[in-house]
């Protein structure tokens, strides 16, 4: 269940505290906390008082343990993960706020700009209910940088032994990219069975995903690359697709104009694309 041993140890410590508590750990505040507050227990109804581990409040617990939510849970939170390129730091929070208000809580910020990491940090602080990850991780040092700004998941365009090793030391789960059956087998052997098909359109799109379904029934995909509003529903109809990644929910023209209401409307429309 856990994406690395560190998270498993945190879970075991937390559940030990749960078992030892005389109070039963019931509180209205905990019951209304976001998914990251509950994800590391095996049953969501096991909500735990922050004080059990010496934390002052639930936000401190979320900060310490929230990154232990696994990638399968993350890709199941919304049908579309916006893939965002932030060029102006001042747009990061209003952009994230618009997307979350529209129903898209999981956000991927690519490492393509000088302000990308600062944007992740700003989003995390401003919107604790959002799940903010870092995309385009291509070097081991990128994992450490993403960790420092509080990334809750990572995404790579491909997978190498170096990246797989770096992911095992990270405090967040990884969605690695693959393009071919050979790359899929390699990723699965490294312990990954939730993968990004990238670039999806160039890799064969719907036909490729259908072909991969029979020999790899245990693998779940988030196809990304070339997917549009017009094609997203077709991808989501496939049984081995959990969600899709797309940039159409935050077009450059709307970003440059600061049209947050327009982006919120696009997000709401994308969020309506639930799997059949």
Contact at 8 Å (CB) between 149 and 125? no
10 part of the active site = no
Query: Active site residue: 10, 49, 121, 196, which one?
Result: 196
What H or E segment, with its residue span, contains residue 230?
Answer: helix 229-236
Contact at 8 Å (CB) between 67 and 234? no
Q: How many CB atoms lie within 10 A of CB 86?
A: 25
196 part of the active site = yes
Q: Count CA within 13 A, CB hemisphere, residue 275.
A: 17
Least Cα distance to 76 among 128, 120, 35 occurs for 35
Query: Would you give the end-to-end CA distance of the chain in angstroms?
Result: 26
Q: Exposed (0-12), middle (13-18) or buried (19+): which is 215, by Cβ within 10 Å?
A: exposed
CA 154, 155, 158: angle at the middle one, nearest 5? 135
Contact at 8 Å (CB) between 230 and 212? no
Query: Active site residue: 49, 108, 121, 264, which one?
Result: 108
Catalytic (active-site) positions = 108, 196
């Amino acid at each position: 269940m856990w994406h690395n041993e560190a998270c498993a140890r945190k879970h075991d410590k937390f559940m030990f505290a749960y078992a030892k508590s005389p109070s039963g750990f019931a509180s209205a505040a905990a019951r209304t906390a976001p998914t990251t507050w509950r994800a590391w227990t095996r049953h969501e109804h096991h909500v735990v008082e922050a004080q059990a581990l010496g934390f002052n409040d639930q936000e401190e617990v979320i900060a310490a343990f929230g990154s232990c939510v696994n990638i399968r849970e993350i890709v199941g939170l919304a049908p579309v993960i916006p893939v965002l390129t932030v060029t102006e730091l001042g747009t990061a929070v209003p952009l994230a706020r618009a997307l979350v208000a529209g129903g898209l809580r999981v956000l991927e910020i690519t490492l393509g700009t000088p302000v990308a990491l600062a944007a992740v940090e700003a989003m995390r602080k401003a919107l604790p209910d959002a799940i903010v990850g870092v995309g385009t991780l291509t070097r081991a040092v990128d994992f450490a940088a993403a960790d420092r700004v509080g990334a809750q998941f990572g995404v790579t365009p491909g997978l190498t032994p170096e990246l797989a090793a770096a992911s095992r030391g990270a405090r967040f789960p990884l969605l690695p990219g693959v393009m071919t059956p050979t790359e899929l087998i390699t990723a699965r052997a490294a312990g990954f069975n939730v993968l990004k098909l990238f670039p999806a359109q160039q890799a064969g799109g719907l036909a490729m995903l259908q072909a991969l379904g029979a020999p790899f029934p245990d693998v779940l995909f988030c196809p990304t690359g070339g997917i549009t509003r017009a094609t997203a529903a077709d991808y989501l109809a496939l049984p081995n697709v959990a969600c899709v990644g797309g940039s159409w929910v935050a077009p450059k023209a709307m970003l440059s104009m600061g049209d947050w209401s327009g982006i919120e409307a696009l997000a709401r429309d994308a969020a309506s694309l639930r799997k059949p």
